[in-house]
Amino acid sequence: MSFGARIRIRLGALQHNFSLLKDAAGGARICAVIKANAFGHGLLAVVRGLPETDSFAVARLSEARMLRDNGIEKPVVLLAGVMSADDLQVALQLDCELVVHDRPQLELLEASGPGAATVWLKVDTGMHRLGIDPSDASSYLARLRACRAVREVRLMSHLANADNTADPMTTRQLQSFNRVTADFAGDISVANSAAILGWREACGLTSADTSRIWVRPGIALYGISPFPKRRGADLGLRPVMQFESHLIAVKPVRKGDAVGYGGTWKAHHDTIIGIVSAGYGDGYPRFLPSGTPILVNGRRVPLVGIVSMDMLAVDLGPGAPDQPADTVILWGDELPAEEVAACAGTIAYQLICGVTHRETSEIIPA
Ligand SMILES: *Cc1c(COP(=O)(O)O)cnc(C)c1O
């Protein structure tokens, strides 16, 4: 048995979160966002754990290829589209749905031979990342419809601040999107996890007919809250990833002893230090500070000192009963990734995407 860091992926939790989001989406179709190796969970495990999704969304052509190479036949959306004629041909061969967010991408399609692509025209309603100006939408739609490579055109946009349910920016973005889609008969998509859970009505998910709406949940599928002040469990979600390892050493230190590189943490009293087989090489970030909670034998203890590449230290406390080989949970059930992320002023998205799977991860079926 290996005592190194590993992740457990609970497909039962994934299915639970999917059902919760499907209910919240009120009949809209689901495009499961699985970019960045399914937010660090492992692309194929997650894909196989989502048999009921209507489509998948990825950021890279290589991810789309991996799905097709593994026999996945569902629609796959390439969220940023393609940048070259060569990539366009590959994407068409892989039968990807393409995002078009600027003029060069439109021109690549116009220059392409015949095909049967579904194209998502992305409109920038205020995030100012990707997307065309809303006032250009009708000319883009007409030109896309005239392309031999295009079979169907749809409209999408992305929300910048939906995680703040009081932010008027989202209302402005949705109004802009509604104007663009008002006299458009095709499929449309705007909602990410935060919008599905926090802006249902504004996104049309409570309306009688949601048949042309697609939603694009990412983070919530993995059981993590998209809202900064709430945890997944507050929303009824269950964490899919458990990141865990083991103690590999337990040792007493005296008051005043420094622990780890740079000696940034010193014992305030005689205590027992546990050394955990997990470090930034596994994706436990070096920027997590002393005091970050870690679960040892179900007990919360603080990280102490600087995280090393393969190891980190915790203060087990005077008289601690813990032994080498005991289990350590870095985040998961009982210790939400949201809470760990907050210790370093970041978001759980960054933590879960960063795990490196140095050890074979374990996939727990539903
Ligand atoms: C990442 C992404 C999503 C999913 O966002 P979550 O906040 O993880 O739900 C949806 N749409 C686009 C365009 C994205 O890039």
Rounded Cα distance between 167 and 339, Å, is 23
In the prediction, which pLDDT does 359 show?
Answer: 75
String of DSSP letters for 312-331? EEEE--TT----TT-EEEEE
Rounded Cα distance between 2 and 20, Å, is 35
36 alpha-carbon distance from chain centroid: 7
Query: What tens digit of pLDDT does each residue of 92-144 get?
Result: 999 999 999 999 999 999 999 999 999 999 999 999 999 999 999 999 999 99
Query: What tens digit of pLDDT does each residue of 221-248 get?
Result: 999 999 999 999 999 999 999 999 999 9
In the prediction, which pLDDT does 366 show?
Answer: 74
Which whole number is the average pLDDT over 265-292? 98
Query: What tens digit of pLDDT does each residue of 148-202 get?
Result: 999 999 999 999 999 999 999 999 999 999 999 999 999 999 999 999 999 999 9
CA distances, 268 to each of 5, 291, 296 (Å): 29, 13, 21
Q: Is the separation of the CB atoms in 240 and 17 below 8 Å? A: yes
In the prediction, which pLDDT does 357 show?
Answer: 82
Place of tokens 């994934």: 14
Q: Is the separation of the CB atoms in 303 and 280 below 8 Å? A: no
Give residue limits of the domains in the chain: 26-216, 241-364
For the Cβ of 15 lying below 6 angstroms from any atom of ligand 1, the answer is no
Active site residues: 35, 261
Nearest-atom index, ligand 1, CA of 99: 13
Helical segments of 199-336, H only: none
The confidence band for 358, taking pLDDT boundaries of 50, 70 and 90, is confident
Q: Closest Cα partner for 250 from 227, 229, 271, 222?
A: 271
Rounded Cα distance between 4 and 140, Å, is 52
> Is pLDDT of 24 > 80?
yes
The confidence band for 332, taking pLDDT boundaries of 50, 70 and 90, is very high
Length of the chain: 366
What average pLDDT does the structure give for the chain? Answer: 97
Which of 216, 347, 349 has the most ligand 1 atoms within 8 A of CB, as the residue to mutate?
216
In the prediction, which pLDDT does 353 show?
Answer: 97
Rounded Cα distance between 241 and 322, Å, is 24
CA angle, residues 339, 227, 8, in degrees to nearest 5: 50
Up-side HSE of residue 82: CA atoms within 13 Å toward CB? Answer: 25
> Is pLDDT of 274 > 80?
yes
The confidence band for 361, taking pLDDT boundaries of 50, 70 and 90, is confident
For the Cβ of 193 lying below 6 angstroms from any atom of ligand 1, the answer is yes
AA letter at 6: R
Nearest-atom index, ligand 1, CA of 219: 8
For the Cβ of 192 lying below 6 angstroms from any atom of ligand 1, the answer is yes
> Is pLDDT of 57 > 80?
yes
Which whole number is the average pLDDT over 64-71? 98
User: Which one of 3.30.2350.10, 3.20.20.10, 3.90.1640.30, 3.40.50.450 gives the CATH number of domain 26-216?
Assistant: 3.20.20.10
AA letter at 22: K
Q: Residue whose CA is closest, atom 8 of ligand 1? A: 218
Q: Residue whose CA is closest, atom 4 of ligand 1? A: 218
> Is pLDDT of 65 > 80?
yes
Nearest-atom index, ligand 1, CA of 216: 10
In the prediction, which pLDDT does 2 show?
Answer: 84
Which of 37, 77, 158 has the most ligand 1 atoms within 8 A of CB, as the residue to mutate?
158
CA of 346 to the centre of ligand 1 (A): 17
Nearest-atom index, ligand 1, CA of 130: 13
CA distances, 320 to each of 239, 311, 325 (Å): 29, 20, 14
In the prediction, which pLDDT does 286 show?
Answer: 97
In the prediction, which pLDDT does 136 show?
Answer: 98
For the Cβ of 189 lying below 6 angstroms from any atom of ligand 1, the answer is no
Torsion region of 325: left, alpha or beta (phi above 0 gives left; psi -120 to 50 gives alpha): left
Query: What is 241-364's CATH topology?
Result: Lyase, Ornithine Decarboxylase; Chain A, domain 1 (2.40.37)
For the Cβ of 158 lying below 6 angstroms from any atom of ligand 1, the answer is yes
